[in-house]
Amino acid sequence: MASVNFRSINICVIGTGYVGLVTGVCLAKIGHSVICVDNNKDKIKKLKKGISPIYEPGLSSLIKEGIKKGRLSFSEDINYAVKNSDVVFVCVNTPTQKNGKTDLRYIKAVSREIAKAMNGYKVIVSKSTIAVGTSQKIKEIMKRHHHPKLKFDIVFNPEFLREGSAVDDFLHPDRIVIGAESEKAKRIMEQIYGSVKTPIIFTGIEASEIIKHASNAFLATKISFINTVSNICEKNGGEIEEVALAMGLDKRIGKDFLKAGIGFGGSCFPKDVAAFIRVAKDSGYDFKLLKEVQRINFNQREQFVKKVQSLIPNLKNKKIAVLGLSFKPNTDDMREAPSIDIIKMLLVKKAVIKAYDPVAMEKAKDIFKNKITYGSNMYEVMKGANAVLILTEWADFLKIDFKKAKKLLRSPFIIDGRNMFSPEKMANLGFEYYSIGRKKL
Ligand code: UDX
Ligand code: UDX
**Residue 321: inside a domain:** yes
Q: Is the CB–ligand 2 distance for residue 163 below 6 Å?
A: yes
Together in a domain, 324 and 407: yes
Axis crossing angle, helix 205-236 with helix 134-145, rounded to the nearest 10:
140
Q: What integer pLDDT is reported at residue 376 of this predicted model?
A: 97
pLDDT digits (tens, 9 = 90+) for 151-195: 999 999 999 999 889 999 999 999 999 999 999 999 999 999 999
Kindly state the greatest CA–CA separation across the chain: 76
Distance CA 262, CA 233 (A): 15
Q: Is the CB–ligand 2 distance for residue 38 below 6 Å?
A: no
**Residue 2: inside a domain:** no
Q: What integer pLDDT is reported at residue 405 of this predicted model?
A: 98
Ligand 2 atom nearest to CA at 263: 30
CB hemisphere CA count around 339 (13 angstroms): 36
**Residue 212: inside a domain:** no
Q: Is the CB–ligand 1 distance for residue 15 below 6 Å?
A: yes
What single DSSP character describes residue 396? Answer: G
Together in a domain, 183 and 261: no
Report which of 268, 278, 371, 265 is spatially closest to residue 324, judged by C-alpha positions: 265
Contacts of 120 (CB under 8 A, 6+ apart): 150
Distance CA 337, CA 344 (A): 12
pTM: 0.94
Instruction: Identify the three-state secondary structure at position 94.
Output: coil
Kindly give the distance from the C-alpha atom of residue 60 to the centroid of ligand 2, in angstroms, as a whole number: 22
Kindly give the distance from the C-alpha atom of residue 427 to the centroid of ligand 2, in angstroms, as a whole number: 30
pLDDT digits (tens, 9 = 90+) for 104-141: 999 999 999 999 999 999 999 999 889 999 999 999 99
Residue type, position 397, single letter:
F
Kindly give the distance from the C-alpha atom of residue 218 to the centroid of ligand 2, in angstroms, as a whole number: 11
**Residue 211: inside a domain:** no
Which of the ligands is closest to the CA of residue 22?
1
**Residue 218: inside a domain:** no
Q: What integer pLDDT is reported at residue 302 of this predicted model?
A: 98
Which of the ligands is closest to the CA of residue 75?
1
**Residue 147: inside a domain:** yes
Domain count, the chain: 2
Kindly give the distance from the C-alpha atom of residue 196 to the centroid of ligand 2, in angstroms, as a whole number: 23
In total, the chain counts a number of residues equal to: 441
Nearest CA to ligand 1 atom 32: 106
Together in a domain, 248 and 189: no
Together in a domain, 293 and 416: yes
pLDDT tens string, the chain, 441 residues long: the values are 445 578 899 999 999 998 999 999 999 999 999 999 999 999 999 999 999 998 889 999 999 999 999 999 999 999 999 999 999 999 999 888 888 888 899 999 999 999 999 999 999 999 988 999 999 999 999 999 888 888 999 999 999 999 889 999 999 999 999 999 999 999 999 999 999 999 999 999 999 999 999 999 999 999 999 999 999 999 999 999 999 999 999 999 999 999 999 999 998 999 999 999 999 999 999 999 999 999 999 999 999 999 999 999 999 999 999 999 999 998 889 999 999 999 999 999 999 999 999 999 999 999 999 999 999 999 999 999 999 999 999 999 999 999 999 999 999 999 999 999 999 999 999 999 999 999 888
The CATH number given to whatever domain includes residue 147 is: 3.40.50.720
Mutation probe of ligand 1 site: the residue of 45, 75, 77, 92 with most atoms within 8 A of C-beta? 92
Residue 6: count of CB within 10 angstroms of its CB: 14
Together in a domain, 86 and 163: yes
Ligand 2 atom nearest to CA at 336: 23
Kindly give the distance from the C-alpha atom of residue 109 to the centroid of ligand 2, in angstroms, as a whole number: 29
Residues 88-122, buried b or exposed e (16+ Cβ, 10 A)? bbbbbbbebeeebbbebebbeebbbbbbebbeeeb
Which of the ligands is closest to the CA of residue 274?
1
Together in a domain, 125 and 263: no
Please say if 268 is a catalytic residue: yes
Q: What integer pLDDT is reported at residue 190 of this predicted model?
A: 97
Report which of 122, 237, 142 is spatially closest to residue 189, judged by C-alpha positions: 122
Together in a domain, 281 and 365: yes
Instruction: Identify the three-state secondary structure at position 353.
Output: strand
**Residue 406: inside a domain:** yes
Nearest CA to ligand 2 atom 16: 162
Q: Is the CB–ligand 2 distance for residue 393 below 6 Å?
A: no
Kindly give the distance from the C-alpha atom of residue 150 to the centroid of ligand 2, in angstroms, as a whole number: 41
Distance CA 385, CA 393 (A): 20
Strand bridging mode 72-75 / 33-37: parallel
Q: Is the CB–ligand 1 distance for residue 411 below 6 Å?
A: no
Report which of 68, 78, 69, 81 is spatially closest to residue 10, judged by C-alpha positions: 81
Together in a domain, 348 and 243: yes
The domain containing residue 270 runs over which residues? 233-434
Last residue of a domain, one of 183, 203, 223: 203
Together in a domain, 353 and 402: yes
**Residue 209: inside a domain:** no
Together in a domain, 181 and 242: no
Q: Is the CB–ligand 2 distance for residue 162 below 6 Å?
A: yes
Distance CA 196, CA 368 (A): 41
Q: What integer pLDDT is reported at residue 3 of this predicted model?
A: 52
Residue 4: count of CB within 10 angstroms of its CB: 4
Nearest CA to ligand 2 atom 6: 160
Q: Is the CB–ligand 2 distance for residue 158 below 6 Å?
A: no
Pure H helices in 349-422: 361-368, 378-382, 402-408
Strand bridging mode 176-180 / 152-156: antiparallel
Nearest CA to ligand 2 atom 10: 162
Together in a domain, 146 and 58: yes
What single DSSP character describes residue 39? Answer: S
Together in a domain, 110 and 249: no
Q: Is the CB–ligand 1 distance for residue 129 below 6 Å?
A: yes
Spell out the long-range contacts of 167-175 with Cβ–Cβ below 8 A and sequence spacing 24 or more. Answer: 167/22, 167/25, 167/26, 167/56, 167/57, 167/58, 167/59, 167/62, 168/58, 170/22, 170/23, 170/26, 171/26, 171/29, 171/30, 171/196, 172/196, 172/197, 172/198, 173/198, 174/198, 175/199, 175/200, 175/201
Distance CA 304, CA 290 (A): 22
Q: What integer pLDDT is reported at residue 1 of this predicted model?
A: 45
Sheet order of strands, 387-390 included: 373-374, 352-356, 319-323, 387-390, 413-416, 432-434
Q: Is the CB–ligand 1 distance for residue 335 below 6 Å?
A: no
Kindly give the distance from the C-alpha atom of residue 390 to the centroid of ligand 1, in angstroms, as a whole number: 30
Q: Is the CB–ligand 1 distance for residue 221 below 6 Å?
A: no
Nearest CA to ligand 2 atom 15: 162
